[in-house]
Amino acid sequence: MKKTTQLRAIVTGPELDFLMEAHNGLSAKIVENTGFKGIWASSLTISASMGVRDNNEASWTQILEVLDFMNDAIDIPILLDGDTGYGDFNNVRRLVKKLEQRDISGVCIEDKLFPKRNSLLKNQKQSLADVDEFCGKIKAAKDTQRDDDFVVVARVEALIAGLDVEAALERAYAYREAGADAILIHSKQPDFNEIEQFLKAWDNCHPVVLVPTAYYTTPTDLFRSFNVNTVIWANHSLRAATSSMEDILGRIYREQSILDVEDKIAGVGHIFELQNSRELAIAEKKYMPTGKRDTNTVILAASQGELGVLTDNIPKAMLKVDGKPIIQHQTEAFRRQGTDETIVVCGFEKDKINLDNIIKIENSQYLESGEAYSLFCAKKYLNKETIISFGDIIFKRHMLVDLLNAPADVTIVVDAHSESESRTAYWVRTDVLYAQSFFARSITMVEISTELPIQDRSGEFVGLWKVSKNGARQLADLMARLSETEDLPKMTVADLLRELAKTTSIAVQFVSGSWLDINTIVDLQKASGFTC
């Protein structure tokens, strides 16, 4: 239910209901936790909490700022004690507009002159507004509101100003006709007599709100007997807080210790609860960067490569592109995305792979085995989401970002516009062609092979893929089964993907270029200036 609808039900409903005063976000939260259905945002207590007088010394924009904090802290409605509306009808129009923008559910305006004086001050003259002028404010408020349930309460101060009940009734009738949703009749007499006279004459002709601060000894059931709609406890949270603070702070000052008061005040943990610290902790886990992603990276870099003298004594993955080894371009790309551990499967000249912050795993059978066996050597790291990469490719950042965001258990990256016609490549056929992929929710690998006919090729597997935690488990289980046969050492990654596809749907992430495979000296020259 909208907050405005909640407040309208409180103020105009048939049963007596109550609003409790609050003056900041913390007190508003306590009011809500206590069980009250709505809040009275008191001008007296908000002003007092600022350390200023209740004489419009706090500007209406400062009041709005406090309301923002109060409203954000709670799910119950707020009725603002809007004093005289902070000016004429035009100020009232702007006030209502701004209150609705901040999701404040209603406003109570009183028929005194600006700047107002608090109604309970002793020996203070209370000057009332002209009836017709005040009716204009009410009409302006009702014409301005956009939400039909926004509540406008007209506060009658005739009794406060020393006029009789008849004068109060005359004003109340006029305000009702002007469109007020309810009438607040106010009195500073210590007994119920003049309010009772008003209610008898009023005869339930429109919703009534009372503020029994002065006549607090009146039994609540008496209010019910007159069908009063709402009672406002107008300043009691601030007064309670003030008494407690003066008591506790006085003891601390006198005793110069907090030993005897610590068990008499709210614990810090309770303050954290009121601030909803638990929600922030949950949100931090969801939104805050942790510096590391719970994702491993496995780089297959066991082969020597076939670049002649360039790879006579170093692995192909350690060939330099723009001054850095190929594999260093990769590890830096993975770390930029916050991946956890980087595992490099080494073989040929394994000691030459000497980068910082990597875990080296040896494939001692690299001469007799293929890529699948190198991956098998790193099987213990297939215990979480894992990126798997050939050690001789470099790629653009966006390709890795998109892959990390892929939702499938197994996702491979496929270049739809590969230029690898003159060399051996892992060709992929998909169920959706690249030209139609923009309209597809998912694209699935149908086949992968070095011998796929040209007409069946959707693109080239670039040597970069990802498995989710579940996908990693399935991949590890598959390799464990294959290791019990003589097949695994002979298998390529393409063979492994074909086997995996028998039980798991393999998603395809299409790219167009954005990567390089370093197989020849020409490839190495092309890679110069390639920005990862």
List pLDDT tens digits, range 71-82.
Answer: 999 999 999 999
Which pLDDT does position 67 carry in this prediction? 97
Examine residue 315 and say whether the peptide bond preceding it is cis (omega within 30 degrees of 0): no
Contact partners, residue 156, CB within 8 Å, separation at least 6:
110, 111, 168, 171, 172, 175, 183, 184, 185, 186
Least-confidence region, from 93-102, 316-325, 414-423: 414-423
Domain spanning 295-527, CATH architecture = Alpha-Beta Complex (3.90)
Q: Is residue 355 within 8 Å of 325, Cβ to Cβ?
A: yes
pLDDT digits (tens, 9 = 90+) for 316-359: 999 999 889 999 999 999 988 888 889 999 999 999 998 888 99
pLDDT digits (tens, 9 = 90+) for 272-303: 899 998 888 888 878 876 667 789 999 999 99
Which pLDDT does position 291 carry in this prediction? 64
Q: How many Cα atoms within 13 Å fall on the side-chain side of residue 129?
A: 31
Q: Is residue 256 within 8 Å of 235, Cβ to Cβ?
A: no
Q: Determine the Cα–Cα distance for residues 430 and 447; give it in Å rounded to an integer.
A: 7
- CB atoms under 10 Å from CB of 274, counted, come to 18
Closest CA to 344 of 408, 311, 387: 387
Fold of 3-237: TIM Barrel (3.20.20)
Is the Cα dihedral 462, 463, 465, 471 positive or negative? positive
- The domain ranges of the chain are 3-237, 295-527
Q: How far is CA 488 from the centre of its chain?
A: 48
Q: Which long-range contacts (CB under 8 A, 24 or more apart) does 433-442 make?
A: 433/458, 434/458, 434/459, 434/510, 434/512, 437/510, 442/408, 442/507
**β-pair partners for 21:** 40
Map 121-179 to HEC letters: CCCCCCCECCHHHHHHHHHHHHHHCCCCCCEEEEEECCCCCCCCHHHHHHHHHHHHHHC
**β-pair partners for 359:** 343
Beta strands in 373-454 (DSSP E): 385-390, 393-395, 410-415, 427-430, 445-449
Whether the pLDDT of residue 265 is over 90: the answer is yes
Could you list the active site residues?
Answer: 54
Closest CA to 126 of 118, 137, 135: 118
Least-confidence region, from 38-47, 200-209, 383-392, 411-420: 411-420
Q: Is residue 337 within 8 Å of 290, Cβ to Cβ?
A: no
Which pLDDT does position 161 carry in this prediction? 92
Max CA distance (Å), the chain: 110
pLDDT digits (tens, 9 = 90+) for 146-196: 999 999 999 999 999 999 999 999 999 999 999 999 999 999 999 999 999
Q: Is residue 510 within 8 Å of 432, Cβ to Cβ?
A: no
Position 464: which residue type?
A: L
Per the structure block, which two tokens stand in for 93? 């129009």
Per the structure block, which two tokens stand in for 360? 């080296």
Whether the pLDDT of residue 486 is over 80: the answer is yes
Q: Is residue 300 within 8 Å of 374, Cβ to Cβ?
A: yes
Q: At 342, is the secondary structure helix, strand, or coil?
A: strand
Whether the pLDDT of residue 521 is over 70: the answer is yes
Whether the pLDDT of residue 269 is over 90: the answer is no
- Name the phi and psi angles at 461, rounded to 5: -65, 125
